[in-house]
Amino acid sequence: MKMNLKGSLRAKLILVFLSLAIIPLLVASIFIGYFSYSNQLNQAKSVQKLIALRASEGVLSFFRNSTLELVTLIQTHELLAMNHGELDELLRLIIFGKNQFGHEPNRFLQLRILDASGATKVVASIDSPEVSEKEWSAFETDFSLVTQREALAFLGPIRYPLEIAEPLISVFLPLETYNGEDPEGYIAGLLRLQKIWGHLERFSIGFRSTVFLLNERGRVIAHPDPSVVLSGITHQLPESPGVGTGLLGGLVLENWHTINFGGQSLVIVAEQPISEVISLTLEFASTLGAVMLVAIILSGLISLWVMRDVLIPMEKLTNAIRQVGKGELFTRVYLHRNDEIGYLANQFNEMTTSLDDHSTKLKGSNLELQRMNRELDEFSYVASHDLQEPLRKLRAFGGLLLKDLENNDRERVEKDIRFITDSVNHMEKLIQDLLSLSRSSRATLSVEPVALDTCVDLALESLSLLLEERRANVVREQLPVVNGDKMQLTQVYQNLVSNAIKYHPGSPTVWISADQAELGWVFGVKDNGTGIHPDYHAQIFLPFKRLHGRSEHEGTGMGLAICRKVIERHGGKIWVESQEGEGAHFKFTIDMKGIES
């Protein structure tokens, strides 16, 4: 049974050690982290409130300075008494900053002098007259609200004209009168809120902290990032300052301050990502996590040392014994130690090595016994069938010979003797072929590099008379060099070429080839003879298996059996591809690494 490390005493002691080392540290870190978080959050709220107040002062200063510039202009000039050219020049000096006030230029997009009904008398603008009128058309309705207010300066609603990519706000101031009646006219301007963006950017606190401006409907009208203003984002403030969802998503700490000027109510919001607020707490948590990780690693190293010393080696031995029990006798355990466990592992390895050697020898003996049994079965078949055929003929013709001798029939006696001689010769040939088959099975292979072209040369030389008699044509390809027995490979080619010539009624053609396949060379001997039916492709390689009678073709049917035995001993296989009437193509392989010795 596999050893359970969790249930061991050592494992329990290690778990207790880890608990005593880590749990107190974890509890203390929770209390310290909570108080640190609360303290940083309160401090951040105070800072953000201060930032919102300071930013509010800057925004108020922007509006006050802008209106003060126009008030000063009204008080120092009799605007209604000036002609059109003088008014245009004076308004342009204010727009482009070329004036005695020293204020930031381009603060106003355009300035207009209006009569008591709101009609434009003079206009000065940064843009062309056509564009200026389109811009002003969005603010004309604001004039109707001016008469309902008694404030010195009136700010209209914030608008976003399509003609310009920034928010604008209208400013109206009445021109002075000396009779105490209603004003005879107004000075109006379109104030560019874009000028506030850079001012708010200076109040950012820390990395990714932001200060922005909201109107009464919660729309962003000033932000350090212009794309936020132009996209028309709105933001819903929580009921009270604290942690909430930021303008662009994410968890933030928010605080704000509301300002009122010129009939408008604006909100200055300061927000900071919560990760920045509690950065010290996160640093403390990271440090604590590192300390705990070191403690866990040290405890783990101790655990590993304990398990490595005893438990793991014993588990290896247990698993190895289980594998040997399943028949995997090649299993070894290498511990490289000089104590009792190391000695036990060495003894186990010696035992499995001995078992493995005996098993290998036994497998080899079994394979040899199986091969010998197959050969014995084949020989028994031959002895019980093919060898008895000439003996039966000898017995039959011997009886006929005695009878013919008694009858003194000389002609029939000679005929009987010829039949007897033929049977004796056939038996002799059978015995010789059996000896050849036996030699091909039992003789020691003389393995050496063999040029197969040389084997073919020797085979064709032995068959030269037959080749000449049958006028056979041999077509050869260049063959490779292989490892094998030269004489036995020569016999393979001799038998295959002899069969190719024998089973052709006329002048045969024999093709000798070698093709490079994925797993090695495939050698071939092809003819244009009578061919072989697919039903007999396997049978023809059995001893004494003939598809024709001896009256049609000579031979004992041992040639292909010998070829099969030789090729098998060379680690390969032999087969035939053929159809009746289409010739035969014998193919074989040779395993140059796995030759039987």
pLDDT tens digits, one per residue of 446-460:
788 999 999 999 989
What is the token pair recorded at 209?
Answer: 């902290």
- Per-residue model confidence (pLDDT) at position 39: 77
Predicted confidence band at 104 (pLDDT cuts at 50, 70, 90)?
A: low
- Per-residue model confidence (pLDDT) at position 4: 46
| Distance in angstroms (rounded) separating the CA atoms of residues 171 and 596 | 109
What's the mean pLDDT when you consider all of the chain?
77
Mean pLDDT value of segment 351-361: 83
What is the token pair recorded at 12?
Answer: 């329990």
What is the token pair recorded at 512?
Answer: 């000798």
Cβ neighbours, 10 Å, residue 14:
19
Say which residue the tokens 């493995």 belong to: 356
pLDDT in tens, 233-270: 888 888 888 888 888 888 888 888 888 877 778 898 88
Q: Which residues lie closer than 8 Å to 219 by C-beta, 6 or more apart?
A: 158, 232, 233, 234
- Per-residue model confidence (pLDDT) at position 3: 42
Task: Yes or no: say if 573 and 521 are a contact pair by the CB < 8 Å rule.
Answer: no
Q: Domains, the chain, ranges and CATH?
A: 1-277 (3.30.450.20), 281-367 (no CATH), 443-597 (3.30.565.10)
pLDDT in tens, 132-171: 777 787 777 777 766 555 556 778 777 777 667 778 888 8
| Distance in angstroms (rounded) separating the CA atoms of residues 496 and 589 | 14
Q: Which residues lie closer than 8 Å to 257 by C-beta, 6 or more apart?
A: 49, 52, 53, 55, 56, 267, 268
Is the model more confident about 286 or about 484?
A: 484
- Per-residue model confidence (pLDDT) at position 237: 87
Angle (nearest 5°) at CA 165 between 163 and 170: 75
By mean pLDDT, which of 279-283, 439-443, 510-514 is the weakest? 439-443
Task: Yes or no: say if 345 and 317 are a contact pair by the CB < 8 Å rule.
Answer: yes
- Per-residue model confidence (pLDDT) at position 454: 92
Share of the chain above pLDDT 70, in %: 75
In the predicted model, is pLDDT for residue 9 greater than 50? no
**Distance separating the N- and C-terminal Cα atoms of the chain:** 45
Mean pLDDT value of segment 583-595: 79
Mean pLDDT value of segment 11-17: 60
Say which residue the tokens 């300390």 belong to: 291
| Distance in angstroms (rounded) separating the CA atoms of residues 204 and 224 | 9
Cβ neighbours, 10 Å, residue 286:
10
In the predicted model, is pLDDT for residue 511 greater than 90? yes
